[in-house]
A = this chain, B = another copy of it.
Amino acid sequence: MKRGEKQNTQAATGDQSIRAPHGIRELAAELGISIGTISRAMNGRPNVNPATKARVLEAAERLGYRPQQSGLSLRTGTTRTIGLLWEIPFGRENYGDAFFLSLFIGVQAQLFERGYDLTILFDRPSSGGLAEPPLGRLKDAIQRRQVDAFIIPWTRVTDARLAYCAKQAVPFTALGRSRSGGNHPWIDLDFEGAIYKATRRLLGFGHRHIGLILVSSALMQNQFIIAGYKKALAEDSTALDDKLIVQCEAIPQGGIQATDKLLGLRARPSAFIVIDSAVIVGVYVRLAELGLRCGQDISVIGGVQDNPIPEFLSPPLTCFGLDTIALGKRLAEVALFALDKDETEAERPVVAELWPLKLIARGSDGSIQ
C-alpha cells in the first residue's frame, strides 16, 4: 500500500496500523490540545506555557513526530532546501570528482548546521558542450519551487543560469565569477594567482616552453588562468607562443589528445600546466605510455586537487590545494545570507571573495634536463 494514500474526503481514521502519528492532528488529539499550540511549541514561539511546551516536545520525540515537509512548505512558502547545480560532461561519469564530492560534503555540513537541506541538481551539458551551461534542472526547480536558493558552480563568461535566476529574483551564489547575473554574491578560487605562481615556478626551473591545457574557453576561470600565465611570461620577458595554449574536453581522453598535440609542436614544451583534474589523468597516462618520466623528462603541474590522489601517483603530482570542505561551508553560509534575515537587519554587502590557492610542490616537476 502506498504511503499517504488516503481517500479524498475520508476522515483521518488511521486505516493503517502504523503507530507513529501521521500528522499534527493526531498528536493534538493524543495530548488533548489544539494543533495551533503544538505548532507554536515545536517552533519555539514565545507565547506557550513552558509545561505545555515540554509535554508537546516529549510527545513528539516519543512518537517520532516531525512536521511534514509538504505542509510546512506550502504554508510558509519556503523549503529550507538549497539547490546545488552539478553538470556532468559526457565521458566524465566514472571520474570520481573529488573536488565536487568534498564541496557537497562541506555545503551539506553547514546547511545541516542551520537546519537546511541540500539538493544536488544533476544536469548534462546542453548540445553545445561546456559552451552553454545546462538550464533545464534550474528552470524546473524554480518553477516547481523546489528550493529556496541556488549554488551555481563552473560559471561561464556569460552564463544563462545566473541571468535566469536574476530575472526570476531567485537568490543564488556563484562559485566563480561571471559577466551575467548582475551584482550577485560569488566566491571564486584565485586561478590567476595560482597559474601565475605555477608559471613562475616552471620558468624558474629553466623551462622556456610551457604548455597550458585548458578546458572550454566558455568557463570564466579560463580568463584568469590565461591572465596569470601571460603575466608570468611577461614579467620573465619570455615570448608568448599561442600554440602552447590548448583546449580539450574535460575528460581523461581530452588530456591524452592535448598531450599529443603539445608534444607534436615544433616548439615542443618541456613543461605542462593542467587545470582540470579529470584531464590530468589522461595526461599522466599518455606521458607514461610515451615513456616520458614526469619530473625528469617533462614537468607537470596539475590543477586544483584537494585529495590524496596526487600523492598516490608516481611521481607524486605537484598541484594546487585548498580546503574544499571549508569552501563548501562558506558557500552554504553565503547562500543562506539571502534567506535568513534574522541575523542582523543591517544591510549586508554582497559577498565577493577570492580564495587563494596554495602550491603544493611534489615530484612531478623540476629543472629542465
Residues of chain A touching chain B, judged by Cβ–Cβ distance below 8 Å, are 1-6, 16, 18, 20, 64-71, 73-74, 76-79, 88, 93-102, 104-106, 108, 112, 117-120, 122, 139-140, 143-146, 148, 168-170, 252, 281-282, 284-285, 288, 306-309, 311-314, 324-325, 339, 341
Residue contact A139 to B312, C-beta cutoff 8 Å: no
Among the listed B20, B117, B312, which residue makes an inter-chain contact with A285, where contact means beta carbons less than 8 Å apart?
B312
Residue contact A339 to B169, C-beta cutoff 8 Å: no
**A74 and B71 in contact, given A96-B101, A105-B93, A312-B313 (Cβ under 8 angstroms):** yes
Please, how many angstroms separate the alpha-carbon atoms of A139 and B65 in the complex? 10
Please, how many angstroms separate the alpha-carbon atoms of A119 and B141 in the complex? 13
- Which residues of B sit under 8 angstroms from A311, Cβ to Cβ? 285
Residue contact A3 to B145, C-beta cutoff 8 Å: yes
Return A337 CB to nearest CB of chain B, in Å: 12
**A1 and B169 in contact, given A118-B122, A308-B281, A313-B313 (Cβ under 8 angstroms):** yes
Please, how many angstroms separate the alpha-carbon atoms of A285 and B362 in the complex? 14
Please, how many angstroms separate the alpha-carbon atoms of A144 and B115 in the complex? 13
Residue contact A104 to B122, C-beta cutoff 8 Å: yes
Q: Which A-B residue pairs are the 10 nearest by beta carbons?
A: A4-B77, A96-B98, A70-B73, A96-B96, A66-B143, A70-B74, A108-B122, A69-B144, A94-B307, A68-B145
Among the listed B69, B108, B325, which residue makes an inter-chain contact with A145, where contact means beta carbons less than 8 Å apart?
B69
- Which residues of B sit under 8 angstroms from A307, Cβ to Cβ? 94-96
Please, how many angstroms separate the alpha-carbon atoms of A1 and B168 in the complex? 12
Return A163 CB to nearest CB of chain B, in Å: 14
Among the listed B3, B64, B99, B308, which residue makes an inter-chain contact with A169, where contact means beta carbons less than 8 Å apart?
B3
**A105 and B78 in contact, given A3-B145, A94-B325 (Cβ under 8 angstroms):** no
Residue contact B97 to A93, C-beta cutoff 8 Å: no
- Which residues of B sit under 8 angstroms from A306, Cβ to Cβ? 94
- Which residues of B sit under 8 angstroms from A99, Cβ to Cβ? 96
Residue contact A145 to B308, C-beta cutoff 8 Å: no
Among the listed B69, B100, B168, which residue makes an inter-chain contact with A20, where contact means beta carbons less than 8 Å apart?
B168
Most buried by B among A4, A94, A139, A314: A94
Please, how many angstroms separate the alpha-carbon atoms of A77 and B1 in the complex? 12
Please, how many angstroms separate the alpha-carbon atoms of A97 and B313 in the complex? 17
- Which residues of B sit under 8 angstroms from A104, Cβ to Cβ? 120, 122
Return A79 CB to nearest CB of chain B, in Å: 7
Return A254 CB to nearest CB of chain B, in Å: 12
- Which residues of B sit under 8 angstroms from A67, Cβ to Cβ? 144
